[in-house]
Amino acid sequence: MAPKAQNIPLQSTLGMKYPTYRDLRLKNTDIWLEGKRIDDGAEGLWRIHDDLYDLNDFIDKHPGGAFWLKMTKGTDITEAFEVHHISDSPEKLLPKYWKRKAKTSRNSPFSFKDDGFYRTLKRKVRPLLKDLPKRDSRWSNFYSDIMAFGLFLFGVLATRYIDFYFATICGILMALVTIAGHNYMHRKDNWRMYYPDLSLLQSREFRMFHIFSHHLYTNTIADLEISLHEPIMEFLPKRKSFVHRYLSIIYAPFYWLTLNHIGVIKRILIFLVLKRTSHFGFHDLVSFFPLLVMYVLGEQPFWIAFKMWFTATLVASLYFNLIGFTAAHHHPKIFHDGDKPRPEIPFDWGLGQLDAVMDRFEIDGSHFLILTNFGNHALHHFFPTLDHGQLKYLEPVFQETLKEFNIKLRKTTIPTLMLGMFKQITNADPNSDPPELYLKSQKRN
Ligand code: HEM
């Protein structure tokens, strides 16, 4: 029988330490990383598995850009390191920077054994890389850029003709461009990674909480894409008040409608209350660029341009968050920390990913839909640095590896996942079946 959540305090069934600063209401990813520095036993260096490395001299030489190493100094980067490199050359470089063994054991339930699922899959993908056609990434660029152009066009038309339909189209395009921008965030710095700023979703924060936290510790107690929304939306199975359990179904859409704006307000508050700079920079200017263009080319007073732009950003926030929250990770049958885990901890990181994801039949198969709906999600988590349009070429080896490990990727429909997300926020009782049971039988839900 399932244990009742009412009696269970929030804790990780995967054995992870409760993240320091997890429950601070006013926090950003910099504060989260400070907590990680306390929890990870990296002793001011960079931790990979049980070894500590001094990468200070490598930060500016890193072919993937300085950002990743600068941000993660003093933390355990095992998952980030394993997942962001497909070739084996980064691993060969490591001995040059080795300092010493870590004193504590790792605060992670995940392993990366050579014969485990993830490294096996990666080895099979490696030789395919050189033959991946470039035209697919060109198509991704084309789709993203044409949508970005479209949002400016409809923004200007909305202002010029004071037309809320045009403003709505502008907002939908803002949301699609934001999701497409996610395709570019996992790589070396590049200008398309700023596309999410166009909808007020701040690319720097998005890049950090999405990549350093959500992608690596999906649906665990350390997943910021869960804790940042608590207590407004509660995804983990635990004690929940009536308001958070049932009324959140009603207020969730209103929350999504203003979530991107709340992010901006939160940053200003962090600046004013906590006296932290919140890293204001170029990306903030990008956020207001559509407003500027709408005002300059719209030939209307500023407040009309502002009204149209603000309407578009509300539509963008609602659409983006509706897709984001219901895309792949929330359904009572998907593992959430607090549910019964796999019997052996640590277990392969790749299996942990499969436990925490369902893909959607309707999306996968279309390059455009994948790019604009977080499609091919499991493969994207496994190989985040690859263009979304290229993931389809990995499908045969992915299927072959799943078969070899006797597991299946769960796929379902968009309505099932949408409904599943709402079921999950009302769900207070941990799932008592370990996730591997679901992976062995694929049912269309
Ligand atoms: C927080 C940890 C790290 C992250 C998130 C990260 C991320 C990345 C990214 C995004 C790329 C570009 C991939 C692409 O566009 O195809 C890259 C490339 C690369 N990184 Fe890192 N990196 C990390 C740590 C390291 C470390 C510790 C080393 C070695 C000491 C390293 C060595 C390399 C090398 C050699 C490349 C060139 C491409 C390759 O051979 O895979 N990285 N990294």
Q: Whose CA is nearest to atom 16 of ligand 1?
A: 385
385 lines ligand 1 (CB under 6 A): yes
What distance in Å separates the CA atoms of residue 28 and residue 205, rounded to the nearest whole number?
7
* Res. 189: pLDDT tops 60: yes
Q: Whose CA is nearest to atom 2 of ligand 1?
A: 81
58 lines ligand 1 (CB under 6 A): yes
Task: Show the tokens assigned to 303.
Answer: 């407040």
- 72 backbone φψ class: left, alpha, beta (φ>0; ψ -120 to 50): alpha
* Res. 329: pLDDT tops 90: yes
239 lines ligand 1 (CB under 6 A): no
Out of 33, 57, 67, 84, mutate this one to test ligand 1's pocket (max ligand atoms within 8 Å of CB): namely 84
What distance in Å separates the CA atoms of residue 423 and residue 405, rounded to the nearest whole number?
30
What is the percent of the chain with per-residue pLDDT over 90, rounded to a whole number?
Answer: 67
Mean pLDDT of 88-93: 93
Mean pLDDT of 38-61: 94
Tell which wins on pLDDT, 163 or 41. Answer: 163
Helix (H) and strand (E) counts for the chain? 19, 7
67 lines ligand 1 (CB under 6 A): no
Q: Which of 31, 433, 10 is nearest to 266 (CA)?
A: 31
pLDDT digits (tens, 9 = 90+) for 240-266: 777 777 888 889 999 999 998 998 888
* Res. 408: pLDDT tops 70: yes
Q: Whose CA is nearest to atom 11 of ligand 1?
A: 64
340 lines ligand 1 (CB under 6 A): no
Rg for the chain (alpha carbons), in Å?
22
Q: Which of 16-25, 343-352, 359-368, 410-419 has the lowest mean pLDDT?
A: 16-25
Query: Residue ranges of the alpha helices (H) in 356-407?
Result: 367-372, 377-382, 395-404
What pLDDT does residue 237 have?
Answer: 87
CATH number of 31-130: 3.10.120.10
Long-range pairs, 303-310, Cβ under 8 A, ≥24: 304/159, 304/162, 305/159, 308/155, 308/158, 308/159, 308/162, 308/164, 308/166, 308/167, 308/170, 309/155, 309/159, 309/167
What pLDDT does residue 439 have?
Answer: 61
What pLDDT does residue 26 have?
Answer: 80
Query: What does the domain layout of the chain look like in residue ranges?
Result: 1-30+133-445, 31-130
Task: Show the tokens assigned to 44.
Answer: 């001011």
Q: Whose CA is nearest to atom 17 of ligand 1?
A: 64
What pLDDT does residue 9 have?
Answer: 52
Taking CA atoms, 357 is separated from 91, 112, 333, 350, in Å, by: 28, 19, 10, 11
What distance in Å separates the CA atoms of residue 198 and residue 289, rounded to the nearest whole number?
7
Q: How far is the CA of 63 from the centre of ligand 1 (A)?
A: 6
Amino acid at 53: Y
Q: How far is the CA of 79 from the centre of ligand 1 (A)?
A: 12
Mean pLDDT of 222-241: 87
The residues, any chain, with a CB within 8 Å of residue 250's CB and separated by 6 or more, are none
Other Cβ atoms closer than 10 A to 114: 7
Q: Which of 403, 377, 412, 407 is nearest to 391 (CA)?
A: 377
Q: How far is the CA of 376 from the centre of ligand 1 (A)?
A: 23
Confidence of residue 5 (pLDDT cuts 50, 70, 90): very low
* Chain mean pLDDT for the chain: 90
What distance in Å separates the CA atoms of residue 227 and residue 247, rounded to the nearest whole number?
19
So what's the ipTM on this one? 0.95
Tell me the β-bridge partners of 339. Answer: 337
Tell me the β-bridge partners of 100. Answer: 52
pLDDT digits (tens, 9 = 90+) for 97-145: 999 999 999 999 999 999 999 999 999 999 999 889 989 999 999 999 9
Confidence of residue 8 (pLDDT cuts 50, 70, 90): very low
Q: How far is the CA of 132 from the centre of ligand 1 (A)?
A: 19
Look at the block and give the residue holding tokens 């925490």.
356
pLDDT digits (tens, 9 = 90+) for 146-161: 999 999 999 999 999 9
90 lines ligand 1 (CB under 6 A): yes
Terminal-residue alpha carbon distance, the chain = 23
